[in-house]
Amino acid sequence: MSASNSASKTGQDSTGLLGLREMSEALEAWQARPDLHSHTQLDAAFAQVIASSGLGGGHLHIDAAPLTELELRSGSLREPATETAEIRTYYLHFGDRVLATLRLDAPPAAVFSVDECARGLEIVIGSAWSRARAGQATDELAAMDTATRGIAGVLDLDRVLQLITDRVRELAHAQYAALGIVDQDFGFERFITSGVSRAERERIGPPPRGHGLLGVIAREGRPIRVHDIEADPRRYGFPANHPSMHSLLGVPIGAKGRSIGRLYLTNKLPFGDFTEDDERLVEMFALHAGIAIENARLHEQVQRLAIVEERERIGRDLHDGIIQSIYAVGLSLEDVPDLMEDERDEAKARVERAIDSLDQSIRDIRNFIFGLRPELLEQAGLVGGLAALADEFRVNSMVDVELETSDATDSDLPADLVGQLLSIAREALSNIARHSKATQGSIHVEVFEGAVKLIISDNGVGFDPAAPRGAGHQGLVNMTARASSVGAKLQVQSDSGFGTRIIVEVPRREATSGVADKGDQ
């Protein structure tokens, strides 16, 4: 019967009745440190409650995590085999949850205090369980916070998968953990483990294919708890050299309404089965894990796209400029062997022009490689990158270029914007060196509240921006595309004989740490 339903109502303070206050204190001490000393005190307190109630004996079995499992016997029920007709059985509850089983030896003389004793013990145990559960919830929240912080913001997919597997093993107090990324046939694209050393993995052999219980969990897409893998009829069996595994908790990982993987935990520590609380906690963590995996995948896709775009740009830049220049040098030298006999001066002039052209191509290649260096983004943002470009340009050209920054503050500009502005400046400087015949140039940058403005100018021969451009003159096309990619407006001001001004203006936006920042593309 239920102690809650059968207890008599005397109006007394139950926690002070029949030594129950001492029982409560002893139970709290046992929960804090379950050792021989605290168990002896608790056993004595329970015996006092039974004796004070005038009962012949009592047997209490508490089995309600997070309380430590406990069995107490007193009086006539100290021996397990003792049975009498007066024994009553109670199930002690907290709400709908059964916390303990209580058996009392109630002789007729004590019939009026039996239910009161059971009710008092139910209050004591319920209060202890409630306190333990509150403490456990606090610890779980702290552990969950630590675990989710550990995977948040990690954008390398392999690393985030391993971190998730390590963190969930700690969170659920499991000896082993694994994360399986499931393919469309419910096999495993990837299978990451925690708690198993590299040497042990090598001895086990290939990762599982999704047979047995692993496959069941993969297909069903719902949490599963198993008492003993070895005894479950759905098991497939372990390969040789596989560590012994018994209790199992499997939880799906989802993201954006679809299933992407499974978490597997085995061998609850220090012993026993995984509980409903473990299942709930791992399910909560799996939600964060799904987001982290999707973020890492998105970042990986962005990085691949950036590499493809950069390769295309590099190929276009090389083909339109440097390769065309070298090809032209080769054509100019084809007739030199014939000219050596009849027109030696012309042959000599062509060779000299070819050497000059090749020297220019070498400078262009050096400038091009310099433009790919990540230090430009790392030195001091936009201003530091422009200073480095100006220094390199002075070394490799005959043009004196000045940098005017107007005390610009650019530390909070996003990396993709800085990268594109530096690439535009590099392209403009390259055009000055190759086409302008200038003796002076300038780079002017302003960073103010509403916008960023970049001006690259020279005193060269100028050109007609509206005139068609042939092969080897795709610099303006490249600069326009780069400006457009960051929402910038690019203007070209030039007239024959009056030099050129490239003006780039872009609305200012703050730096972010999102996965969409792609840097220089």
Tell me, yes or no, whether 180 and 276 share the same domain.
Answer: yes
For residue 268, give the H/E element and its range.
strand 258-268
Tell me, yes or no, whether 384 and 520 share the same domain.
Answer: yes
Residue 262 belongs to a domain: yes
Total number of domains constituting the chain: 3
Burial class of residue 208 (count of CB atoms within 10 Å of its CB; 0-12, 13-18, 19+) = buried
pLDDT at 84: 62
CA distances, 519 to each of 156, 317, 375, 468, 513 (Å): 16, 18, 12, 32, 12
Token pair of 101 as six digits = 């089983």
Tell me, yes or no, whether 162 and 220 share the same domain.
Answer: yes
Residue pLDDT, tens place only, 310-333: 677 677 666 666 676 777 778 778
Cis omega (within 30 of 0) for bond into 80: no
pTM: 0.51
Tell me, yes or no, whether 381 and 517 share the same domain.
Answer: yes
Of 296, 328, 358, the residue that ends a domain is: 296
- pLDDT by 10-residue block (mean), the chain, 521 residues: 49 56 92 91 93 90 88 88 75 92 84 81 92 80 79 83 92 92 75 90 80 75 88 81 90 83 91 90 90 86 75 68 72 80 82 81 66 51 83 78 78 78 87 87 87 93 80 74 90 89 86 40 33
Residue 189 belongs to a domain: yes
pLDDT at 419: 81
Of 88, 111, 142, the residue that ends a domain is: 142
Within 8 A by CB and 6+ apart from 342, the residues are none
Residue 346 belongs to a domain: no
Residue 266 belongs to a domain: yes
Residue 315 belongs to a domain: no
Residue 333 belongs to a domain: no
Residue 342 belongs to a domain: no
Looking up residue 36, the CATH number of its domain turns out to be 3.30.450
Token pair of 278 as six digits = 């473990």
Tell me, yes or no, whether 104 and 193 share the same domain.
Answer: no
Tell me, yes or no, whether 171 and 256 share the same domain.
Answer: yes
Tell me, yes or no, whether 166 and 124 share the same domain.
Answer: no
Looking up residue 193, the CATH number of its domain turns out to be 3.30.450.40
Tell me, yes or no, whether 20 and 108 share the same domain.
Answer: yes
pLDDT at 133: 84
CB 479 within 8 A of CB 428: yes
Map residue 438 onto helix, strand or coil.
coil
Tell me, yes or no, whether 426 and 382 share the same domain.
Answer: yes
* 445 phi and psi angles, rounded to 5 deg: -130, 135
Maximal CA-CA distance, the chain: 140
Q: What is d(CA 251, CA 283) in angstroms, rounded to the nearest whole number?
A: 6
Tell me, yes or no, whether 93 and 231 share the same domain.
Answer: no
Residue 165 belongs to a domain: yes
pLDDT at 90: 94
Looking up residue 411, the CATH number of its domain turns out to be 3.30.565.10
Tell me, yes or no, whether 421 and 484 share the same domain.
Answer: yes
Domain range for 197 is 152-296
Of 119, 142, 165, the residue that ends a domain is: 142
Tell me, yes or no, whether 118 and 71 share the same domain.
Answer: yes
